[in-house]
Structure 1
Amino acid sequence: MSSSGGDSESASSKKKGRGPTNIKRVINKPNKEVKFDTLGRAVINDETTPFSTQLGVSVRAHVPIIYRQWPDVPDHIKKIVWQDLKLGWKLPDDNIDLQKEITSQMGVLFRRFRTTLNKDFLMKGKTPFGTYKSIEPSQWDAFVEYHQSEEFQNLSRQGKENQEKNLYPHLLGNRGYKGERFQKRLKERLKEIANETPIGG
């Protein structure tokens, strides 16, 4: 779990990260097992969505929003998120490739969270304290200051321009493209079975 050690939004607001705590759990039964493919992606099954949801919950609970990008987040905070996940799921510590893939997924969720905070709270003149208890006022102040800066406005403008050029936007939710393909194949197979079954058979 590497980190570039880049700048955060406020050096005075840096936190060491919270250790695994009794944060909201998507499941109550510990040591649930999620299978992964050779690329470290969660295999589509009944546990995939709860795992992805808990991953997002853990990231929001333990990673301070003062960090502008995922590479800026220190390794020890990423490890806290990993240990928090292990309270609910069986995750092998000796599988480095799997750790890297899940850590990458953490980064995607962290970026989405910051986007949500900007769109649903900052741009609407709201504060997130009632919704996200882990966010402290000093962190929010730093977040607001950065998002109102000329640097962020330029990056945001560039991002919108790039998005307009994207001919294949991702619109498939938590299941992703792999999950969508699975659901499509399942529906097609069920339709085939229905056509093969004789009426009254």
Structure 2
Amino acid sequence: MKWSQIPKDMKEQIWEAVDMAFVVGQGGKNSVLASAAKKWKDFKSTLTRHYILPYTNDREKLSQPPETYKFIEKAQWDAFVASRLSKDFESVHSQHAQIREKLECNHRLSRKGYAGLEDELEETMPGVEIDRSTLWKRARQDKHGNIPDPRHSA
């Protein structure tokens, strides 16, 4: 299930739980829900990469949710596994793998991500407009300010 398909009342419950546990103003609701959407997508990706794709030929391993995630109901798990083993998903997955394979210059941002890099640049370069090309270059620079040549990497 995509984040856009999650019922609004469920998203509201997520917001209320976060708002009760942390000091977040009403203006932070969109950020909290955007973060929840990202975590939802990451969680599905983790399940797919670690618990489904390695066992596509072992239906026994796919018959139950992983021990680590006991909160996943069997019906939900079965539907999720079926969606990940579908021809549609396989097609999209292989297309993305091909695109990823062609990528020559990986970013070097770690957990900071582009948002963190942009914040860092705004602090060090006040008043300068930071465009996408600047972010792209800075994201790929090593500690000496060089962008490694992909033809010479191991």
Which TM bucket (shorter chain)?
A: 0.5 to 0.7
Structure 2 match to 1:118 = 48
Structure 2 match to 1:34 = none
Matched, 1:142 2:142: no
Structure 1 match to 2:17 = 84
CA 1:171/1:122 → structure 2, altered by over 3 Å: closer, same or farther? farther
The correspondence for 2:89, drawn from 142, 152, 168, is 152
CA 1:170/1:152 → structure 2, altered by over 3 Å: closer, same or farther? farther
- Work out which structure has the larger RCO, using CA pairs closer than 8 Å and 6 or more positions apart in sequence: 1
Runs (5+) with no aligned partner, structure 2: 56-60, 125-154
SS at match of 2:47: helix
Matched, 1:172 2:117: no
SS at match of 1:134: coil
Question: How many residues were matched structurally?
Answer: 112
What is the TM-score normalised by the length of structure 1? Answer: 0.48
Deviation per CA, 1:119-173, whole angstroms, max 9, x where unpaired?
1111233454421232100000001111111010111112223323444447512
Q: Which has the higher helix share?
A: 2
The one-letter code matched in structure 2 to 1:90 is V
Deviation at 1:84, TM superposition (A): 1.5
Deviation per CA, 1:19-52, whole angstroms, max 9, x where unpaired?
xxxxxxxxxxxxxxxxxxxxxxxxxxxxxxxxxx
Runs (5+) with no aligned partner, structure 1: 1-66, 186-201
CA–CA distance in structure 2, aligned partners of residues 179 and 171 of structure 1: 8
Deviation at 1:78, TM superposition (A): 1.1
Name the % identity. 26
CA–CA distance in structure 2, aligned partners of residues 169 and 70 of structure 1: 26
Structure 2 match to 1:36 = none
The 5 A counterparts of 1:35-114 are 67=1, 69-93=2-26, 95=27, 98-114=28-44
Deviation per CA, 1:69-93, whole angstroms, max 9, x where unpaired?
2111111111111112123201123
CA 1:170/1:151 → structure 2, altered by over 3 Å: closer, same or farther? farther
The one-letter code matched in structure 2 to 1:119 is R
CA contact (8 A) 2:65 2:73 kept: no
CA 1:170/1:157 → structure 2, altered by over 3 Å: closer, same or farther? farther
The alignment's C-alpha RMSD in Å is: 2.6
CA contact (8 A) 1:128 1:135 kept: yes
Structure 2 match to 1:132 = 69
